[in-house]
Amino acid sequence: MLDPLTPQEWTAIELSLRVALVASLASLPFGIAIAWLLARGRFVGRSLLDGVVHLPLVMPPVVTGYLLLLAFGTHGPIGAFLQRTFGIVLAFNWTGAALAAAIMGFPLMVRAIRLSIEAIDPRLAAAAATLGARRLGILVTVTLPLALSGILAGLVLSFARALGEFGATITFVGNIPGVTQTVPTAIYTYTQVPGGELPALRLTAIAVVVAFAALLAADVLARRVARRMAA
């Protein structure tokens, strides 16, 4: 039987959930916008934008984390500007972990939403346009409601990916207990010390349960949306 969780482990779980929630919700508006551009837009550089969006999927996460450190670190151009102007510090802070998780989960979110938008019959938007609806109105009243299942799927996939993010996070914000130590980095820490097998197993079990629950919730929500749309 596994021992109860320690306060440090509870902190890592709470931080992981907070990081994943902030990362997925904050990136959702950008994910919808980029997905719509890739699905419906016809412009020069569309393939380049598609490649940039999916780049985190093929690059080593450590490379992504290092690039974030260069750009958003206290001596980086963006990080120095944010710190000097707004007092915002991302490097070695939980907000930086949320940024890294958002970037790593962004391609999954965009792909799910894009596929959902591409499955919508373009004639529906054309019909709305003939009735006087503007592009933004068509997006809000026609496209997004019909793509709701894909949006929910993308949101949950991004959340689940953020929960498991390790490489970019540990490179950008480190592994500071109580500050930036998430469940994956805590598991890594326990595997490096004698007697850490049981704590690592406890956190692993919790990570599996939370990820599975998120996927199950996404499936239930998608089915409910599909039934409502069919009705």
Can you read off the two tokens belonging to residue 223?
């089915």
- Residue 95 is predicted with a pLDDT of 92
92 to 6, 45, 76, 96, 159: CA distances (angstroms): 23, 34, 13, 7, 21
The answer, yes or no, to whether residue 176 has pLDDT greater than 70, is: yes
Question: For 71-85, 178-192, 202-216, which range has the lowest pLDDT when averaged over its residues?
Answer: 202-216
Which of 64, 144, 149, 52 is CA-nearest to residue 107? Answer: 52
The answer, yes or no, to whether residue 171 has pLDDT greater than 80, is: yes
- Residue 229 is predicted with a pLDDT of 62
φ, ψ of residue 196 in degrees (nearest 5): -90, 5
Q: What single DSSP character describes residue 131?
A: T
The answer, yes or no, to whether residue 119 has pLDDT greater than 80, is: yes
88-102, 114-128, 208-222 — most confident range: 88-102
Helix (H, G, I), strand (E, B) or coil at 181: coil
Can you read off the two tokens belonging to residue 99?
């940024």
- Residue 228 is predicted with a pLDDT of 64
- Specify the higher pLDDT residue, 226 or 74: 74
- Residue 16 is predicted with a pLDDT of 93
Which of 17, 4, 6 is CA-nearest to residue 184? Answer: 17
107 to 28, 157, 182, 183, 220: CA distances (angstroms): 11, 10, 21, 22, 23
Mean pLDDT, residues 193-217 taken together: 86
Helix (H, G, I), strand (E, B) or coil at 196: coil
- Residue 210 is predicted with a pLDDT of 85
Tens of pLDDT, residue by residue over 78-118, are: 999 999 898 888 988 999 999 999 999 999 999 989 988 88
The answer, yes or no, to whether residue 231 has pLDDT greater than 80, is: no
The answer, yes or no, to whether residue 50 has pLDDT greater than 70, is: yes
48 to 32, 52, 116, 134, 136: CA distances (angstroms): 18, 6, 21, 28, 24
- How many angstroms separate the CA atoms of 115 and 135, rounded? 20
CATH class held by domain 7-230: mainly alpha
Can you read off the two tokens belonging to residue 126?
């054309």
